[in-house]
Amino acid sequence: MKKSELVIIPAPGMGHLVSAVEFAKRLLNRDSQFSITVLVLKNPSQPRTEKYTKSLAASDTRVKYIDLPPATPPSPDLINRPEKFFSVYIENHKPHVKEAITNLTSCNSVPVGLVVDMFCTSMIDVANELGIPSYLFYASGAAFLGFVFNFPARFDLVGREYKKSDPESIVPSYINPIPTSVIPTFAFDKDGYDVFLEQGRRFRGVKGIIVNTFAELEPHPLNYFSSLSDQIPPVYAVGPLVELKGLNHSELDPCQYDKIMKWLDDQPSSSVVFLCFGSKGSFDEAQVREIALGLERSSHRFLWSIRLTSPNDNIDPREILPPGYLERIGPMGMVCEWAPQVEVLGHRSVGGFVSHCGWNSILESLWYGVPIVTWPVYGEQQINAFEMVRELKLAIEMKLDYRRGGDLVMADEIERAVRCLMDGGGEVRKRVEEMGEKCKMAVVDGGSSYVSFDRLIDYVLGKA
């Protein structure tokens, strides 16, 4: 039987690549008539992505991976304008993407669709040029999708980027007004604002939008999109798309991995608070010391993945902990440089998660019913934290508005949040555990995301 070829272009970052690949695997599990090719854009600043795709290619031969050649670098004068730099870097891959798809077509495998990441919308031009339907894959949540969708309408009214002095924003995909303090940093910068303004405009030009969320988690924004069905492409909530087997741990010494898991095995059920801040979440020495003191004062068991912001990559983060710290905490705590997040969250001894609120991390914690203390660092994490605390009441607030390099979060505040999570937080914990069950129900036969996947498959294949 002739396969229906789907080409996927994830953004070159772990958070985007992981969920896109999980989408590909889920689609193949659901319908064997698809053939999927993932075009891999290199990201020099994240070498882990190359290791990850190589391990995937070896472990699951159903998905074909094509490493694209390096693109022409953006002009050096953009080096200090990260959003613009990244946007141009992605756009410079267009010739390579076109060539790869043309080669597929010459092999009698005409794609039925091109699925582009939220940061790869310039590739819609390639799809249009080749006469291929394009779909958007949105690795973040539906509420944030609505925030970006709102950019063009806001720009028509205001004509500029956000300012710190702006009043709270009314965005239809959120129930509550959004404080300016949790608006993502990029929205205050003209380059960043322009990049997302263009995204908001281009989203309307695709044939469908695939979102890594599920109806039970984000009913309000999804209902809002349904009310706009005659104005925007159809939206398919197919999540949670989480890699439950964990990522390739080639960056983690096997002995260290075993040490972490053995330590967790020795702890009582739901007794450990896990601290991890994503692939780019790091702190300076002063903040690391405040975290250390806050954890020590909380008297709770903890597993802490430290990443240090330092010009000297050779510094072991444990070397800058308070004097005698590791000896004082003894078996009550474990400090490491990297931890296998999915496996840790799924371990019976973990009862709480101090998180940067990346969307993948949120979905992983909900899947396992582990409540979060919010500590956003960069990207859209502040508005994710706002959604989790204020909109959904599924997390405990430590910070909603922290930004990389911001004021120190003091030990007293960290101690309070950890105690609130581990000693109290009963209502939040109960809601998170209930949402964890809804996560699992959403993806099985008859669940909301399962049904949405059916609708998407029929739509892509022209049956709807």
Cα dihedral sign, 122-124-130-135: positive
Q: Are residues 39 and 174 in the same domain?
A: yes
Q: Are residues 362 and 411 in the same domain?
A: yes
pLDDT interval class at 252 (50, 70, 90)? low
Report how far residue 197's alpha carbon sits from residue 187's, in angstroms, rounded to the nearest whole number: 9
Cβ(459)–Cβ(234) below 8 Å: yes
Q: Are residues 200 and 324 in the same domain?
A: no
- Strand runs labelled E in 358-456: 372-374, 395-397
Closest CA to 119 of 19, 230, 241: 19
Q: Are residues 221 and 310 in the same domain?
A: no
Is residue 304 included in any domain, yes or no?
yes
Supply the residues annotated as catalytic.
Answer: 16, 117
Cβ(81)–Cβ(194) below 8 Å: no
Q: Are residues 149 and 31 in the same domain?
A: yes
pLDDT interval class at 146 (50, 70, 90)? very high
Q: Are residues 111 and 129 in the same domain?
A: yes
Is residue 391 included in any domain, yes or no?
yes
Q: Are residues 342 and 449 in the same domain?
A: no
Is residue 314 included in any domain, yes or no?
yes
Q: Are residues 223 and 85 in the same domain?
A: yes
Top-ranked range on mean pLDDT: pick from 54-63, 423-432, 446-455: 446-455
Which residues lie across from 422 on neighbouring strands? Answer: none
Decide: residue 206, CB within 10 A, 0-12 exposed, 13-18 middle, 19+ buried.
Answer: buried
- How many domains does the chain fold into? 2
The whole-number pLDDT of residue 104 equals: 86
Q: Are residues 209 and 263 in the same domain?
A: no
Q: Are residues 335 and 455 in the same domain?
A: no
Which residues lie across from 36 on neighbouring strands? Answer: 6, 63
The whole-number pLDDT of residue 311 equals: 46
- pTM as predicted: 0.94
Is residue 133 included in any domain, yes or no?
yes
Closest CA to 10 of 80, 97, 78: 97
CA 451 to chain centre: 23
Q: Are residues 137 and 227 in the same domain?
A: yes
Top-ranked range on mean pLDDT: pick from 21-25, 39-43, 77-81: 21-25
- The predicted-structure confidence for 279-321, as pLDDT tens digits, reads as follows 777 888 899 999 999 999 999 999 999 877 654 556 676 678 9
Q: Are residues 368 and 280 in the same domain?
A: yes
pLDDT > 70? residue 253: no
The CATH number given to whatever domain includes residue 165 is 3.40.50.2000
CA 24 to chain centre: 16
Is residue 23 included in any domain, yes or no?
yes
Cβ(242)–Cβ(21) below 8 Å: no
The boundaries of the domain holding residue 287 are 254-439
Is residue 249 included in any domain, yes or no?
no
Q: At what angle do helices 14-30 and 48-59 cross, to 10 degrees?
A: 20
Report how far residue 150's alpha carbon sits from residue 170's, in angstroms, rounded to the nearest whole number: 10
